[in-house]
Amino acid sequence: MQSVWITGASSGIGEACAYRYAEEGARLALTSSSADRLEKVAAKCRELGAEGVTVFSFDLTCPDGIDNLTDDVWIALGGIDIVMLNAGISQRTNIEDTSMEMVRKIMEINYFAPVAIAKRLLPKMAARGGGKIAVTTSIAGRFGFPLRCGYSSSKFALYGFFETLQAEYYSKGIRVTMVCPGRVQTNISRYALDKGGKPHGVMDPGQASGMTAGAAARVITRAVAKEKKEVLVGRKELLMVYIKRFFPGLCAILARKIKPM
């Protein structure tokens, strides 16, 4: 029986992964800032067969409480086999309209929170022989994308930190899977920060026609089980990752032509 902690578990990819692990009889800890929604997800996980489910409502923009949160989850689960650092927030503003306050909020949730959680967990995981860390990045973390300056920066940064973590702690049994979604049907565009820091409130057309969260969860949980270094999740939009790798000049041209919404 695995012990799994998922952040950003109240909707989208995090919710769908919670259901996948619940079906496998895992012991779950679910974290989100949306307490009501989190309780509903937890109830469904119990119905699906989770061995036990504990919820931890927490705002990841509050760095001072992350160490205590991590310790509390560890105690509740009796150790953590898999942590899915999935919580995140996006934006829909150009650089001039993106305040530094917005950039810092995005970085706090998308980068500093998962880094802080990982740093707190590492000695505990290593002491018990290892563990798996799944980190939700984005194809916007592989190439720059219009109206995503803060979001893209936070996702690029995750690669730098967690690839270093993998190199340093591989011999101690720590395995990292970088989860790189393209267009998946989640609420991330609805809650993306618009000008003035207000929720965008609209699901992007490309996202609405993207892979379902349930299908994405199947791909992701299999990749984590197989200890893959990275898993690309999506459809034809993932071609941009390969174009960037082999034809960076063409990628830059295409990025300029992409409709930003």
Which helix (H) or strand (E) segment holds residue 15: the answer is: helix 12-23
Q: Residue 59 CB: number of other CB atoms within 10 A?
A: 11
Question: Concatenated DSSP letters for 186-221?
Answer: SSTTTSSB-GGG-B--S--HHHHTSEEHHHHHHHHH
CA distance 124 to 35: 27
Can you point out the beta strands (E) in 17-159? 27-32, 52-57, 82-85, 131-136
Spacing of C-alpha 143 from chain mean position: 17
Phi, psi of 93 (to 5 degrees): -135, 145
Question: Annotated catalytic sites, by residue?
Answer: 151
Q: Are 30 and 18 in contact (CB under 8 A)?
A: yes
